[in-house]
Amino acid sequence: MLAVIAGAVLLVQGTRKVPVQYAKRVVGNKQYGGARQYIPLKVNAAGVMPIIFAQAIMFIPLTLIGFKESQGGFFGAMTDMYGWTYNIIYFLMIVAFTYFYTAITVRPSQMAEDMKRNNGFIPGVKPGKPTVEYLDSIMSRITLPGSIFLGIVAILPAIAHVLGMNRQFAQFFGGTSLLIMVGVVLDTLRIIEGHLLMRHYDGLMKDGRIKGRTTGNAAF
């Protein structure tokens, strides 16, 4: 169970940092830019949307046969949420929808344009089309393991059932509920950390110094 939760955390939090260098600009006696920053590309940029899309489509056979359990053949197999046919197709659809949703939400061309507008570039990569192709290749590489792991999380109830768990208990091990739960917990922790950080900054304003772990976070 802990391994499943840890895997879900890695799926939600996993990122690939792409270094971006900004050109130096001298205005008067001051120098601006020149700092190296990073573009965080998420391993699972699509979130739980591929699972939701796949579930919606997988309910179509169930609707077509009128919710009858005695149906045989392909449509009958597609109504068995713990069967191999259902889960293999379900898994492949999640992988496909992950690529589709990532393609329409993550725009390498827009990233490249924003970098060019702000005098930024990726070290070793020419601005413009080469940057777009580079970012697109990275997204393609990191989306593959992300989509596969997302599909595995979605079919975990079937895997748990095959390993001998009760169907009702097996449902707890995967799908959107687990990812949403992990996402909510992580968001809550970030909010709490933000409030604690603000309190540390309040202490900085009053005492003129930074306390505790904020020493490392205060450098910009």
Q: What is the DSSP letter of 210?
A: -
Count the neighbouring beta carbons within 10 Å of the beta carbon of residue 192.
10
Name residue 19's beta-bridge partners: 38
Reading the block at residue 57, the tokens are 């489509």
Reading the block at residue 116, the tokens are 């060019």
Contact 139/102 with Cβ under 8 angstroms? yes
Enumerate residues 6+ apart whose C-beta is below 8 A from 69: 79
- Domain at 2-174, CATH homologous superfamily: SecY subunit domain (1.10.3370.10)
pLDDT tens readout for residues 56-112: 888 877 776 665 555 566 666 677 777 888 889 999 999 999 999 999 988 999 988
**Lookup result for tokens 């095959």:** 162
pLDDT at 120 over 90: no
